[in-house]
Copies of this chain bind each other. A is one copy, B any other.
Amino acid sequence: MENSSQNWLYENFDHTGSAFGLRITRKLDEVQSPFQKIEIYESRDWGNVMLIDGAMMVTTRDNFFYHEMMAHAPLFTHPDPKHVVIIGGGDCGTLREVLRHPGVRTAVQCDIDEQVTRMAELYFPELCESNNDSRATVMFDDGIAYMANAAPGSIDVIIVDSTDPVGPAEGLFNRAFYENCLKALRPDGLLVQQSESPLALMHLIQDMRGAMRDAGFQSFRTLPFPQPCYPTGWWSGTIASKTARDLTAFREEDAAAAASKFGCRYYNAGVHRGALAMPGLMQEALGD
């Protein structure tokens, strides 16, 4: 993280060789939790910005791409999602989107770091506006242990909304974790995980799918979407299903009806369909 004299805050992404920056007006907060350093800046044009260990996690302006795609794409792919678990997601933006679905009965958010949520409540209150929904459980615990202890066949959709596969989130990207997810899912169950940049980190998507496949997941689909503040600005989520199925089929009519009711700024049925049309470079690397 560089802080130039003109108040531009840059994040240099070593693994992609690219950088993203924002014009910052001031630093609002900083806390060192038991797990990581969380910083909040105010930007001139992007609202507030949260950094975890120097990596931009959320800005007020652009988080809707990620949260809408990570929640609505899997939930409209599942035939009838009632019980949803979010591993990570401490900024609560994914939880808010999940709770827009009237059919959802329970949504558990399990992030290891309570401080992330406390900072989100202060600096991104709009993302936390559904935390008191009676269907929501906001807990702070180890997501790996949570999935290891989850009742078998109890969950419809697991959303892994974590930081990168280094540091606290490392254990969310391996076979042992995926095996516990598989066991906890109902037969129709889906797992979705943020899967980095399809331009720069296709090998990570391949490794992730490999570990999911080794754990017993049957079908896979990786959906690209814009996310300006993440490396290369082009991001993805990978959906995996417990049983073999066509993950290009989704509840298209429900999605079409819901998108404006939900107030989505990016996701809609056409955008979902579009994200299923993989560009050549993804088809070539992923073979689907």
Contact = CB atoms under 8 A, between A and B. Distances in A.
Interface in A1-52: 2, 4, 6, 8, 10, 12, 16-23, 43-46
Given A226-B234, A233-B234, A19 B18 contact: no
Copies in the complex: 2
Interface in A232-285: 232-234, 259-260, 263-271, 273-281
Contacts of A280: 259-260, 263-268
Given A260-B280, A265-B280, A281-B265, A17 B2 contact: no
Nearest to A197: B228
Contacts of A275: 274
A139 interface: no
Given A21-B19, A228-B232, A233-B234, A277 B273 contact: yes
Contacts of A43: 17
Contact of A270 (B259, B265, B277): B277
A62 interface: yes
Contacts of A224: 226
Contacts of A144: none
Contact of A44 (B17, B226, B278): B17
